[in-house]
Amino acid sequence: MSMMEKMMGFMMGRMDREEKKEMMGQMMERFFDGMTGDDKKKMMAEIMPKMMEGVNMMELMPKMMMGMMSKVMAGGKDMQMPMMPAMMMEMMPQCLTVMLPNILKDDRIAFVLKMVTTLIEKGSDGFTEEEKKEFVEKVAESIKPTL
């Protein structure tokens, strides 16, 4: 064990949960200072599998998403509000790709029907009747190759 590991073990053993949380926030800010987005992506790809061992993503994802959404929505002045739709449009298909195969068949069917209904209703919000009709036709055409 290196001297650094011994020192960290000693320090961490004397800290309570709140002190550890505070230290983590400060250290993460310093640690990532000067890193490019590509550097962070590469590091995450290496670290995430180790961090995710023993973690139930089905339980964690909704909590993470709600936390991220509330921060983005609350930070409207500091952050660009169009970021939220862009982020969701990027993440939702990927999340569904991972999540859906792991859901029981009956639950999956109910969820997909609810999602399709929501997508059609909210996706055509503000459309004329003709635009809604064209929209639904495009959706129907897009799923034909999957059948």
143 is a domain residue: no
Q: Please report which confidence band the pLDDT of residue 74 belongs to, taking 50, 70 and 90 as the band edges.
A: low
4 is a domain residue: yes
Which pLDDT does position 60 carry in this prediction? 76
15 is a domain residue: yes
18 is a domain residue: yes
Which pLDDT does position 112 carry in this prediction? 93
Please, which residues have CB within 8 angstroms of residue 131's CB and are 6 or more apart in sequence?
A: 124
The helix, strand and coil proportions of the chain, stated in percent and rounded to the nearest 5, come to 80, 0, 20
12 is a domain residue: yes
Structural domain count, the chain: 1
Which pLDDT does position 117 carry in this prediction? 94
Residue 85 has pLDDT above 80, yes or no: no
Q: What is the pLDDT of residues 98-130, one digit of tens each?
A: 889 988 999 999 999 999 999 999 999 999 999
Structural domain including 13 reads: 1-52
Q: How far apart are CA 126 and CA 146, in angstroms?
A: 29
36 is a domain residue: yes
Q: Please report which confidence band the pLDDT of residue 72 belongs to, taking 50, 70 and 90 as the band edges.
A: low
- The one-letter code for the residue type at 44 is M
Q: What is the pLDDT of residues 22-64, one digit of tens each?
A: 888 788 888 888 888 888 888 888 888 887 788 777 777 777 7
